[in-house]
Amino acid sequence: MSADGALLASFGDIDRPFYLRSSAKPFQAAVSQDSGANLDALELAMASASHRGFPVHIALVESMLARAGLDEGSLRCPRDWPLAPRAARIVANSGATSPRRVWNNCSGKHAGFLRACASRGWPLDTYLSPEHPLQRRVIELVSELGELSAQPVGVDGCGAPVLRTTCRAMARMFARLATETSLAPVFTAMHRYPALVGANGEGDTEIAIALDAVAKGGAAGCVGVAVADRLGVAAKSWDGLGPVANLAAASALDRLGVLSPTAVRSLDSVLTPRVLGGGVPVGSLETRFELEIA
């Protein structure tokens, strides 16, 4: 999708609805910031993140809460273990015996929500309700940017409202993330700290690092890419596989002439993800689609 909302190319049923899942985080973070969260760049990246639970992530989330006079007890995301196996081993080796809310990969987003609510004097205990003023703003922004109603909403894994979209609407949203001044602080924070937003080696983070872009994946196989001042791309794997969605998004960028030869080389693991058998590579995935140029 171009900056002016024109469809550049497509493949498959781009109007079939699905949920944005964590791909919505840049826009949820934008609402938190616009609602008074007063997040610095590191905090804004964390509010947009599906963090892996390393000590730096936890320290940032705890600082975000503390700056508003809050603590982990204010979070309403589920208790969880860190998402990265190495991070989980770190907390296990420290003697932890039960999961914590701050270790949930969405705790940065929730801390951003809480900062906005504290600033506005909005209720803290019901901040995840679809009828809460903050969530109403999120629903309105996602609907406006995608030019598609984000309702009916569901409940995401972290307890927040999960927002309806399509590939067409999602690509439009990420094109606007790439180009609109009002969303520039979120774009800048995500672009500056991609390994906070995701993790080195993950497809969305690798795409963001290889390009002048940001990218955000979501559960059940969706990903959005915002290429600075140029366009937005969305991909959805109907099998729910993240590597397939990342492969499709990177391949679409390549077919659109966005990837330089250097970027293609750096994205080798995304463009040809290895298939393991018996713990060793036995093949790789590759794309067979042809984009229909609009």
Q: What is the pLDDT of residues 202-252, one digit of tens each?
A: 999 999 999 999 999 999 999 999 999 999 999 999 999 999 999 999 999
Which whole number is the average pLDDT over 114-134? 98
Indicate the DSSP class of residue 37: I
Average pLDDT of the chain is: 96
pLDDT band at 5 (very low <50, low <70, confident <90, very high): confident
Q: Is residue 82 part of a domain?
A: yes
Q: What are the b/e assignments for 269-285, b being 16+ CB within 10 Å? A: ebbbbeeeeeeeeeeee
Q: Is residue 7 part of a domain?
A: no
Which pTM value belongs to this model? 0.97
Which whole number is the average pLDDT over 23-29? 98
Q: What is the dihedral of CA 205, 218, 78, 104, to 10 degrees?
A: 0
Joined tokens for residue 78: 């589920």
Q: Is residue 290 part of a domain?
A: no
**Alpha-carbon distance 67 to 63, whole Å?**
6
Q: To 10 degrees, what angle do helices 55-66 and 85-93 make?
A: 80
Q: Is residue 162 part of a domain?
A: yes
Beta-strand ranges (E) seen in 167-241 are 213-218, 222-227, 231-236
The tally of domains found in the chain comes to: 1
pLDDT surpasses 90 at 294: no
pLDDT confidence of residue 38: 98
Q: Is residue 283 part of a domain?
A: no
Residue partners of 201: CB distance under 8 A and separation at least 6: 269
Whether the bond between 152 and the residue before it is cis, its omega within 30 degrees of 0, is yes
Joined tokens for residue 143: 């609907």
Angle at 224 between CA 219 and CA 227, to 5 degrees: 155
Cβ pair 191, 205 in contact under 8 A: no
Structure confidence by residue, pLDDT tens digits, 145-167: 999 999 999 999 999 999 999 99
CB-side neighbour CA atoms (13 Å) of 109: 33
**Alpha-carbon distance 231 to 35, whole Å?**
27
Q: Is residue 166 part of a domain?
A: yes
Q: Which domain holds residue 124?
A: 19-274
**Alpha-carbon distance 47 to 89, whole Å?**
24
pLDDT confidence of residue 112: 98
pLDDT band at 3 (very low <50, low <70, confident <90, very high): confident
Q: Is residue 90 part of a domain?
A: yes
Q: Is residue 293 part of a domain?
A: no
CATH of the domain at 176: 3.40.710
